[in-house]
Structure 1
Amino acid sequence: MKQCKVIVVIHRFGDYILGGFVNYGQVIDHSGNQVIYMVNARGHQDIKDYEGQAARVHELADIEDYAVLETLMKNTVEEYGPVDLLIAMSEYDLINAAKLRTQFGIQGTSQEKVALYRDKIVMKKRLQADGLRIPKFLDYTDPEAAIAFAEEVGYPIILKPKLGAASQGVKQANDRTELEEALASIEQANETDNYQCEEFITGPIFHIDGLVQRGELQFIAISQYVNGCLAFSQGIPNGSFIVTDRLPLKNRLTRFTEAVLHSLELHDGCFHLEVIDRHGAEAVFLEIGARMGGAETPFLTLELYGVNLCEEWIKIELGTFEKLHFAQTGIHGGLLQFPEPPCVPAEVVHVTSLKGLIPEIFHEQIPVPGEIMDGKGSYYHISGRYMFRGESEAKVEAAIHKAIDLFRIEAKPLEPSHI
C-alpha cells in the first residue's frame, strides 16, 4: 500500500483578508507526503512560513491559465509519480481542478461532476429530475425566447450568469421594458451563452453553510439574509443572522439541505447553499457552491463555533477528519457588509465606528481616512465589515438593522487617474 502521497495544492489566497486563514502546514503532513504548490503571488506569500517543507512551489503569473497548470501537472507526475490528491479551495479554481483530476486520473470531483456545483442550469435540471422544488428557468438563447418565458411565468424576472458567484452580473427586470433593456445589454456584451432566465420567488432567502463527509452532515449553519447579495451588488448593505431559535424552520431547511446534497452527489467536502423559503412552508433551491461561503462567513464560523471550514474540508479530502465538537445551542451571531460608496473611485473622508454603539458587534473593519475605494472591493475592501454575537437570534437581527440605520461614510469622488 502506498504510504507517501503526492498532493497538489492550488492556492490563490494570501491578502490581508484571507491570509493565514488556512494553514496547510498544520493540516497536511509535509514530512510524510510530497506536497506541490501551484500559487499566485499572494498565495505564495501566504505559505512562506512552511514552503521549505514543500516538495516544490510553482508561482504562476496567471493561476487560471489551464495550459500552464496542465504542463506543471505533467511535470509533477513525471517527477513524483501519479497524483493522489488535488486540493483547490477557491470558487474560481474548481473547474480547472476538476479538469486536471479528469485528465490525470486523480480522485475527487471530476470535470463532469463539477458542473453540478458550478453550472446553474445543470444543477437545477438534476434537482428537478429528483423532485426538489426549483424556480422555473430557461437556458437563455435569444431575446424572443426570454420575453416569451417572462410573459408565461410573470414579472419580475431574474437574469443570472450560469457560472457566476456573489450575484455578479445578476439582473432583475420588473417589466417588459426593463427586460428588453437587460437583454440588449447581454447581447451587446456577447454574453448570450452565459445566461439563464429564472422565475422570481417571493420569500426570505437563506444561506446554508456546512461540511459533509460520506453523505452525512458534520456541520451546518443556516442563516437568513438581511437584504441579500443582489441588493449588495446594487449598493445596499448585505447581512445575515444565524437561525438558532426557530427550530421547526431550522429542521425543515436541514432536511432540504440533505436532499440537495444527496441529489447533487456532494458526499464529501464543504458547501454553500442558497434557498428561498416560500410562504414559510416550502424551501425553493436557488444555487449551491462546493466551497465555503464568502464575506465574513468563514470567519464568523470560526469565531462562534471554533470550526475552520477550509481546514476541516481539507481533512475530509485527506481522510484525517475527526468528528467535530462544538456547542449545539446558545450560539447566536451574524454578519454585515456595507458596499463601497456609490461615487467610486473615491477617497474616504470619514467613517463612523459602530463598535461602541452596538454591544452585539464584536468585530469591525472600516477604512481609514485617505483610503481609496476603487469599485473592485467585492465583499472585503469595502465601506464596513461587521460580525455580531448576541443573546438570541432576534437580538442579533435587531442589532444588524440598527447598524444599517447608524452607519455613515463620507467620501469624495476622484478622477480615475488618481487610483
Structure 2
Amino acid sequence: MSALRELGARVWCVATPDIYARFGDQAEVESAVLVSDCTDVEEILCALQREGLSPSDFDAVCSQQEFSLVATALLGAELSPIKPLTAALLRDKYLQKSRIAEADIPVAGCRIHPDLAALDSVSDQLPVVVKPILGASCANTYVARDTQEFGHAIAEFRTSGFNGPFLVEEFVTGAEHHVDGIVRDGELLFLGISRYLQNVIELRSGVLSGSIALRPVLYPSLYEKVSSLARASLAALGHRDGVFHMEVFVHGDEVTFSECAGRVGGGPIDQLVSAHFGVDLHLEWAKTMFGGPGPVTAAPSGEVHGYALLMAAGTGTVRAIPSRAEFLAQDGVVSGRPMVGVGYRVDAPTAASDVHIGEVVVRGATEDDVVKRLHEINEWFRAQVVLG
C-alpha cells in the first residue's frame, strides 16, 4: 500500500479485523472495509455497499495477497489487471500445470484425487508430492519417496483434518530456484533468479529455508534458459501485467516449471530483490496498476545477497525474541526483523514456510560467504529466542 501511496493513490483497504488490528496504524488508508473473509466475493461486495461504495467507484481493484487474487479479479473486472481466468490459473495448481503442459513447457505430471480414500491408489506410484490444489507456502504439502513417507503424509492429513481434494504430482529432481520478475503488456521487463538453500519441500525436516540471489553475469546460460521458460509460461497463463513469483527446478541443462504466482514472493524476497538487483517489486507492481511506464530501472549490487526464514527451535510461548535493531547490529545483515512478539504461541514450528518467527537478508563477497552467514544468523537467532 505504501507503493500505491507513493504514486499518489488514495487507498481503500479490505481487511479482516485481526489483520487490521495488527497493521491498521501503519496502513495510512482512506478507509478500511472490514470482512471476515477476504476471499469471499459476496461478503466483500456487501461490505462495500454498507459503506456506500461499489467497485466501479475506483480506478483500480488490486491485491498482492495470494488468496485474494480471484476475488479481486471478479470484483474488479476491467478495473483489475489480472482477469478471472488468469487469476484461476495462477491459483489452481492443477489448472496451471495443465495449461503449462499444453504449451509444451517441461512440467511435472499431476492428477487430482478427491479424498483420503482415493489416495490409497497412490502408494504404488511413488515418489510423488501430495498437496492441496489451492495451497500456498507448503502448508499441507508432503513429499512421499517411499511407503513410510507416504504413510506419514496420510497420518498428517488426518491429524490436520484436511480431507482433500488433493493434487498428486510427479516428484521432480533438481535444485529448486525462485524467479521473481515484472511483466507489462506481455513483455518481460525484469527477471531475477535465486537458488534455494534447500528445496522448499524439505522445510519440514528442519533445514534452513532461504535462498541466494544469482548474478546474471555469472550464470548467463541459466538466465537465458529461465527467461525463455518464463516468457512462454507467462504467455500460456495469460499473465500480462504485474509481478510474478515463479519456481523452477534446475537439473543439469534442464529447467522444469514448478509453480507461478501473480504476486511478490513471500517472506523477505522483496528485500532480497531490492538489495541484490536494485528493483522495487512493490513499486513496479503499483505502476502497473495505473498503466505506469516501462522500462524497469535496475541497479544491481556488486555483492552477493541471500535470505533466510528463521524458525523456532521448538514449541512454546515466546518469552524473548531479538528486535529489529538487534538484527541490524549483526555483521552483514541488510535487513531483518522478528515476525512475532512476546506472548506468541509456537505450536508447529516447521509446518509451512509462512510460520517463521523471524526473517533476515544478508550480504557477502561470495555465495559461500552468504550461506555461512545465514547459518550463523540462524544459530544466533535461535540462541536469543526464549520459549516457555
Q: TM-score range by the shorter chain?
A: 0.7 to 0.9
Provide closer, same or farther for how the CA distance between residues 214 and 23 of structure 1 changes in structure 2, counting only shifts above 3 A: closer
Provide closer, same or farther for how the CA distance between residues 151 and 79 of structure 1 changes in structure 2, counting only shifts above 3 A: closer
Matches within 5 A, 1:90-169: 90-102=65-77, 106-142=79-115, 146-152=119-125, 154-155=126-127, 157-169=128-140
The match for 1:70 is: 45
Tell me, in whole angstroms, the C-alpha distance in 2 between the residues paired with 1:381 and 1:133.
31
Tell me, in whole angstroms, the C-alpha distance in 1 between the residues paired with 2:271 and 2:301.
19
Tell me, in whole angstroms, the C-alpha distance in 1 between the residues paired with 2:54 and 2:232.
42
CA shift for structure 1 position 160: 1.1
Letter paired with 2:98: K
Tell me, in whole angstroms, the C-alpha distance in 1 between the residues paired with 2:343 and 2:149.
36
| Residue 178, structure 1, aligned to residue 153, structure 2 | no
Q: TM-score, structure 1 length as denominator?
A: 0.78
Provide closer, same or farther for how the CA distance between residues 291 and 185 of structure 1 changes in structure 2, counting only shifts above 3 A: same
The match for 1:392 is: 366
The alignment partner of 2:2 has SS state of coil
Tell me, in whole angstroms, the C-alpha distance in 2 between the residues paired with 1:106 and 1:77.
19
Q: CA RMSD in A?
A: 3.4
Matches within 5 A, 1:251-262: 251-262=224-235
The match for 1:3 is: none
Spell out, residue by residue over 1:244-276, the C-alpha distance to the aligned partner (whole angstroms, 9 max, x if none): 122212222222112211111111101110111
Provide closer, same or farther for how the CA distance between residues 66 and 144 of structure 1 changes in structure 2, counting only shifts above 3 A: closer
Number of aligned positions between the proteins: 378
The alignment partner of 1:263 has SS state of helix
| Residue 38, structure 1, aligned to residue 14, structure 2 | yes
| Pick aligned residue for 1:296 from 246, 263, 268 | 268
Tell me, in whole angstroms, the C-alpha distance in 2 between the residues paired with 1:367 and 1:190.
27
Higher mean alpha-carbon deviation, 293-302 vs 232-241, is at 232-241
CA shift for structure 1 position 319: 0.8
Matches within 5 A, 1:11-410: 22-30=2-10, 36-40=12-16, 41=20, 42=22, 44-48=24-28, 51=29, 54=30, 57-60=32-35, 62-74=37-49, 81=56, 83-102=58-77, 106-142=79-115, 146-152=119-125, 154-155=126-127, 157-183=128-154, 185-186=156-157, 191-244=162-215, 245-278=218-251, 280-328=252-300, 330-348=302-320, 359-365=331-337, 372-375=344-347, 382=356, 384-401=358-375, 403=377, 408-409=382-383
Tell me, in whole angstroms, the C-alpha distance in 2 between the residues paired with 1:287 and 1:106.
26
Tell me, in whole angstroms, the C-alpha distance in 2 between the residues paired with 1:29 and 1:76.
19
Higher mean alpha-carbon deviation, 301-310 vs 264-273, is at 301-310
The alignment partner of 1:88 has SS state of coil
* Higher CA-based Rg: 1
Tell me, in whole angstroms, the C-alpha distance in 1 between the residues paired with 2:279 and 2:194.
16
Provide closer, same or farther for how the CA distance between residues 404 and 203 of structure 1 changes in structure 2, counting only shifts above 3 A: farther
Per chain length, whose mean CA-contact separation is higher, i.e. which structure has more relative contact order (CA < 8 Å, sep 6+)?
Answer: 2
Spell out, residue by residue over 1:103-130, the C-alpha distance to the aligned partner (whole angstroms, 9 max, x if none): xx54432333211101100000000111
Unaligned residue ranges in structure 2 (runs of 5+) = none
Provide closer, same or farther for how the CA distance between residues 367 and 193 of structure 1 changes in structure 2, counting only shifts above 3 A: closer
Unaligned residue ranges in structure 1 (runs of 5+) = 1-20, 415-419
Provide closer, same or farther for how the CA distance between residues 141 and 28 of structure 1 changes in structure 2, counting only shifts above 3 A: same
Provide closer, same or farther for how the CA distance between residues 190 and 229 of structure 1 changes in structure 2, counting only shifts above 3 A: same
Tell me, in whole angstroms, the C-alpha distance in 2 between the residues paired with 1:253 and 1:383.
32
Provide closer, same or farther for how the CA distance between residues 369 and 61 of structure 1 changes in structure 2, counting only shifts above 3 A: closer
Tell me, in whole angstroms, the C-alpha distance in 1 between the residues paired with 2:203 and 2:219.
26
CA shift for structure 1 position 39: 3.5
